[in-house]
Amino acid sequence: MLYLKTDEEVGLLRESNLLVSKTLAELARSIKPGVTTLYLDHIAEEFIRDHSAVPAFKGYGGFPNTLCTSVNDEVVHGIPSDYELKEGDIISVDCGATLDGWVGDSAFTFAVGEIKEEIRRLLNFTRASLEEGVKVAIAGNRIGDVSYAVQSKAESGGYSVVRELVGHGIGKKMHEPPEVPNFGKKGTGHKMEKGLVICIEPMINLGIKDTIQMSDGWTIKTADGKPSAHFEYAVAVNKGKADVLTTFKFIDEVLNKM
């Protein structure tokens, strides 16, 4: 069963997702060489709680922290630690917050200082593949249309799409039906209706698509050790045009000033 949200419920989801967007922008100010991923985690938890919300990830399935911080060849679910970011790193920051019972969820991959041009291109293509998926997240289309759009854009740049991890529905729970793969065929999967809210989150690798899980039980890495990028929006399906509940506007404003 797909849980279709009313306009009022979409409005509540917009608020929680805007808070996550602002949290990521707050973190953007501090992402630089020498900063630990655990320090970023503290900033995020404090910011979320100061805005009358609670971290959605902390304790979820036993996850120990507010953020997932995944560096370089870590695809997703990296656990914040004493690792100090280095010039040339990239870091995917995935953040969730629950506000008034509704969950916000978004991710952005940041450059740490100056990065190689081939890695910059990976980030640009991954973000662009997310935007392509959003374009077709409209009532009457199917989940496979989103999947195909993401995959086509990513692969047109010569990149590979992670198969083991997918996007998802979102609402009062962080993970609701349906699953939203980043690969697939047009015209397949659930038919999308107005009020369906999904998280589209391309995880795109510079090298091969295969991944491995680390011994901590959470961190997923690329099997070949090459970098991976990850961007995520929460999107309310609507007629004619998707309603993106997350925004990268605040992040871009911070980064453009740095």
Q: What is the rounded CA–CA span in Å between residue 154 and residue 200?
A: 14
Report DSSP state, residue 166. -
The answer, yes or no, to whether residue 44 has pLDDT greater than 90, is yes
**Local confidence band at 40 (pLDDT 50, 70, 90 cut-offs):** very high
Q: What is the pLDDT of residues 46-71, one digit of tens each?
A: 999 999 999 999 999 999 999 999 99
Report DSSP state, residue 237. -
pLDDT of residue 90: 98
Q: What is the rounded CA–CA span in Å between residue 148 and residue 142?
A: 10
Cβ pair 182, 231 in contact under 8 A: no
The answer, yes or no, to whether residue 258 has pLDDT greater than 90, is no
Mean pLDDT of 90-107: 98
The answer, yes or no, to whether residue 103 has pLDDT greater than 90, is yes
Domain boundaries, the chain: 7-257
CATH 3.90.230.10 fits 7-257, yes or no: yes
**Local confidence band at 91 (pLDDT 50, 70, 90 cut-offs):** very high
**Local confidence band at 8 (pLDDT 50, 70, 90 cut-offs):** very high
